Amino acid sequence: MDHSAHNKLVSFIWSIADDCLRDVYVRGKYRDVILPMVVLRRLDTLLEPTKEAVLAEVKFQLEDMQATELDDAPLVQESGYVFYNTSKWTLTTLFKTATNNRQILLANFEEYLNGFSDNVKEIIECFELKSKIQHMANKDVLLDVLEKFISPYINLTPKDKEDPEGNKLPALTNLGMGYVFEELIRKFNEENNEEAGEHFTPREVIELMTHLVFDPIKDELPLTITCYDPACGSGGMLTESENFIAEKYPVEGTQRDIYLYGKEVNDETYAICKSDMMIKGKDPENIKVGSTLSTDEFVGQRFDFCLSNPPYGKSWASEVKNIKDGSDVIDPRFIVELADYWGNKSKVDATPRSSDGQLLFLMEMVSKMKSTDASPLGSRIASIHNGSSLFTGDAGSGESNIRRYIIENDMLDTIVQLPNNLFYNTGITTYIWLLSNNKPKERKGKVQLIDASLLFRKLRKNLGSKNCEFSPEHIEEITHTYLDTANVERQLNDNNDPIGIAAKVFDNQDFGYYKVNIERPDRRCAQFKDELIAPLRFDKSLREPMEYLFSEYGDKVYETGFLKSIENDVITWCDENDIKLNTKAKTKLLDIKVWQKLGELVSTANQLKVVFENQGMNTESNDFNQFKIDVDVQLKALEIKLSASEKKAILDAVSWYDENAIKVVKKVVKFKQDKLDNLLHHLGCDVTDMADFGYFAVEGKNLEFITYESNLDLRDTETVPLTYNEDKETSTFEIHQYFLDEVISHINEAWINLDSTKIGYEISFNKYFYQNKPLRSVEEVASEIISLEHQAEGLIADILGVEISKVQGE
């Protein structure tokens, strides 16, 4: 339908709310009535021409065939759609036979709704339409609403009509009906200050996505195609994909079979999507309702194409229980196999942080890709994301694992950066991810990044957050840039401002990096001091409330039953001081055994302090190695046995870092030659390089090395590109070469903790496309200031009505 007719129809429907519902519903609830009534009227108009044939079939089955239940197949055949209505009513006859008796109208209306096939009844239930009809009947507005929707001045039918004045009312095609749905949703959401267009992706964005997905294989498209959207909303992405294929890639002498699949969590938009599918003769059972993340509705199915605009920045915390059991992922869609630094493969977590689930939708689509064994084309995916999918999550995190899995399996084809303010519900930067598991030869092992953020035209009037759009020329330029698989340099205008499109092609591993810990030796001084021993009485995680209890009640905290008797007072104090205690922490705080165990540590430390003082040893020691030996000797003399953790707690409490102290030895390692050879192979170095990995040779002993304790506060984390050593003529591997180039020259006692190495992937558009604009010269700035001063003088003179020359003369 043409644009003006579309706008008139939307405006008419929009006006129904104010005309009929003003005193019945609050403004924010208008959409709850109008949207389902639009759907109902559309279905009603489609079924009107075959109404008599359907009723005849009903009569035949019930009277002639003596059937106890109606057979769907003949009724569907008679209606011409995958749905039908077996009641005698239409919306038009309901209105024309209505009386002043609201109960009769309501009963007739309910009979009409009950006459629909089960697939429509599900839609009616999702809309909660029966309760709304009853409420409108009780408020005496149902007849008014009905009159508006059957008005001869609007056309919701698929055929051309004329209004009472003879003006043509264009037919409302299925595509046009989709636009009406989407526009109404957007307008109602904007009106309610909700997420405007939460279920609405701009049509030019969908068109760009379809070009990117289908154009590269347009000559190889099969006659039977399946498309899937795991967050389908009202179905716009699916229907536009189908329209695009039919329009752009027709097959001479035949017609493609295109099957659309989707899932939507919102009942209302699911109802709209499902009704749209039924109107178009699609199988409504392919559209599912519910959470895509919680339940794999299409388990075992694979699709040729997946296109989606999943929600981003949306928490999936409520669905964690369906995906994880504690820290273990139990849903196979979100588990991937990756190799560690040493090449050992294992199953790892592929779930992002619970505050943002958009990458889970991407993994859902990846899990639904057809293998190249099952389909020569494999599968192609286009998915819209915000920037967090590109870089959030450290190496080894779920987000990074997802990126790594996709890139290392050569599925990431292209990412296109879109302009800000292109969407109705957000002004943030968004990106189209394009994936394929069967990339052409020239794109294998490559990823193309396209920056189209400066490619747009402004709208004359903002639509929500949307203030710009792609023109057909922009879409063509982006598509050609993608198909050319080439680098495109950013152009500059006369003011040296960047304009137009830019693109770069990278190797897959350009986005990968090693995250490795660089250690430094611990150097500690130690001495038994009262102020260092006292904190041993308190658990570190509960120090503040334990300090309060001890200062308030003293040794009473060690008396049986005392802590339980003041439990309410303790909880009140914690609440007043904004200290949050979970059940485990509260139990620990009030457990006398915990207090007694910590008290014994204090007693032991005090005993050691006395012994050290009596023997003249309690002076500050800068050799923690000897200090530990002395403590062991005195504990043995005192016949006190401590666990390793208890002894460590005392030693940590009475020692502190000092850069001038002696290094703390972890152990002295004596190797046999074969063990040393294995270690050298593991580290990938020569024996002369072992100090770079924390093994320091003992002078005069070939197979003996010292390792030192590392200081966690001095630990540094370095990010080393996977490609760091590519351009260097050396056999040294990436991490070691980076260490030699960037670390050891600054910190000569540091070493590489190679066993901590993790592999991560991230993508930064700013890093690759940022262009620095040179500052203007001082002369240029000064000239502009002087020019502005002259303009200001002239403006003041005009305001005062005097000549500048006279003012200057005076």
Tell me the per-residue pLDDT of 693-712, one tens digit each, with 9 for 90 and over.
999 999 888 899 999 999 99
> Both ends of the chain: CA-CA distance in Å?
71
Distance, in Å, from the CA atom of 98 to the CA atom of 742, rounded to the nearest integer, reads 86
Asked if 577 and 570 count as a contact pair (C-beta separation under 8 A), the reply is no
Rounded to 5 degrees, φ, ψ at 718 are -110, 140
Q: How far is CA 482 from the centre of its chain?
A: 25
Structure tokens at 490: 């950013």
Rounded to 5 degrees, φ, ψ at 533 are -75, -40
Distance, in Å, from the CA atom of 438 to the CA atom of 393, rounded to the nearest integer, reads 28
Question: Rg of the chain over CA atoms, in angstroms?
Answer: 37
pTM for the whole thing?
A: 0.85
Given the DSSP bridges, would you call strands 665-670 and 328-329 parallel, antiparallel or unpaired?
unpaired
Distance, in Å, from the CA atom of 251 to the CA atom of 260, rounded to the nearest integer, reads 19
Which one, of 160, 215, 164, lies nearest residue 480 by Cα?
215
Distance, in Å, from the CA atom of 151 to the CA atom of 287, rounded to the nearest integer, reads 32
**Cα dihedral value 274, 279, 284, 287, nearest 10:** -40
Distance, in Å, from the CA atom of 378 to the CA atom of 302, rounded to the nearest integer, reads 10
Sheet with 665-670, strands from edge to edge, namely 665-670, 704-708, 696-697
Distance, in Å, from the CA atom of 460 to the CA atom of 236, rounded to the nearest integer, reads 24
Given the DSSP bridges, would you call strands 412-417 and 446-451 parallel, antiparallel or unpaired?
parallel
Residue 807: the pLDDT is 45
CB burial of residue 701 (10 Å; 0-12, 13-18, 19+): exposed
Residue 691: the pLDDT is 95
Distance, in Å, from the CA atom of 803 to the CA atom of 445, rounded to the nearest integer, reads 72
Which residue type does 669 have? V
Structure tokens at 491: 């152009």
Which one, of 436, 391, 448, lies nearest residue 409 by Cα?
436
Structure tokens at 60: 């035949």
Distance, in Å, from the CA atom of 352 to the CA atom of 349, rounded to the nearest integer, reads 9
Which one, of 406, 418, 435, lies nearest residue 212 by Cα?
435
Which residues does 695 contact at the CB level (< 8 Å), separation at least 6?
Answer: 669, 679, 705, 706, 707
**Can you spell out the DSSP letters for 539-603?**
-GGGHHHHHHHHHHHGGGGGSTTHHHHTHHHHHHHHHHTT----HHHHHHHT-HHHHHHHHHHHH
Residue 186: the pLDDT is 67
Which one, of 182, 164, 295, lies nearest residue 235 by Cα?
182
The beta strands (E) that lie in 109-177 are given as 161-162, 168-169
Distance, in Å, from the CA atom of 277 to the CA atom of 231, rounded to the nearest integer, reads 15
Which residues does 754 contact at the CB level (< 8 Å), separation at least 6?
Answer: 341, 516, 683, 693, 735
**Can you spell out the DSSP letters for 375-429?**
-TT--EEEEEEETHHHH-S-TTSHHHHHHHHHHHTT-EEEEEEPPTT-SSS--S-
Asked if 612 and 650 count as a contact pair (C-beta separation under 8 A), the reply is no
Distance, in Å, from the CA atom of 650 to the CA atom of 531, rounded to the nearest integer, reads 13
List the beta bridge partners of residue 302.
Answer: none
Distance, in Å, from the CA atom of 102 to the CA atom of 137, rounded to the nearest integer, reads 6
Which residues does 625 contact at the CB level (< 8 Å), separation at least 6?
Answer: 662, 664, 665
Q: How far is CA 395 from the centre of its chain?
A: 17
Which one, of 174, 194, 181, 201, lies nearest residue 10 by Cα?
181
Asked if 32 and 194 count as a contact pair (C-beta separation under 8 A), the reply is no
Residue 178: the pLDDT is 67
Residue 720: the pLDDT is 95
Residue 329's SS3 state is strand
Residue 727: the pLDDT is 67
Distance, in Å, from the CA atom of 412 to the CA atom of 511, rounded to the nearest integer, reads 11
Residue with token string 């000897």: 626
In what helix (H) or strand (E) does residue 79 lie, and over which residues does it extend? helix 72-79
Which one, of 638, 640, 636, 618, lies nearest residue 627 by Cα?
618
List the beta bridge partners of residue 667.
Answer: 707
**Can you spell out the DSSP letters for 437-506?**
SS--GGGTTEEEEEE-TT--EEEEEEETTEEEE--HHHHHHHHHHHHHT--BPPEE-TTS-EES-EEEEE
Asked if 655 and 524 count as a contact pair (C-beta separation under 8 A), the reply is yes
Structure tokens at 615: 């023997």
Which residues does 36 contact at the CB level (< 8 Å), separation at least 6?
Answer: 124, 127, 129, 132, 271
Asked if 629 and 651 count as a contact pair (C-beta separation under 8 A), the reply is no
Structure tokens at 79: 């209606």
Instruction: List, for the chain, all residue ranges whose pLDDT scores fall below the cut of 50.
Output: 1, 193-197, 199, 807, 809-810
CB burial of residue 448 (10 Å; 0-12, 13-18, 19+): buried
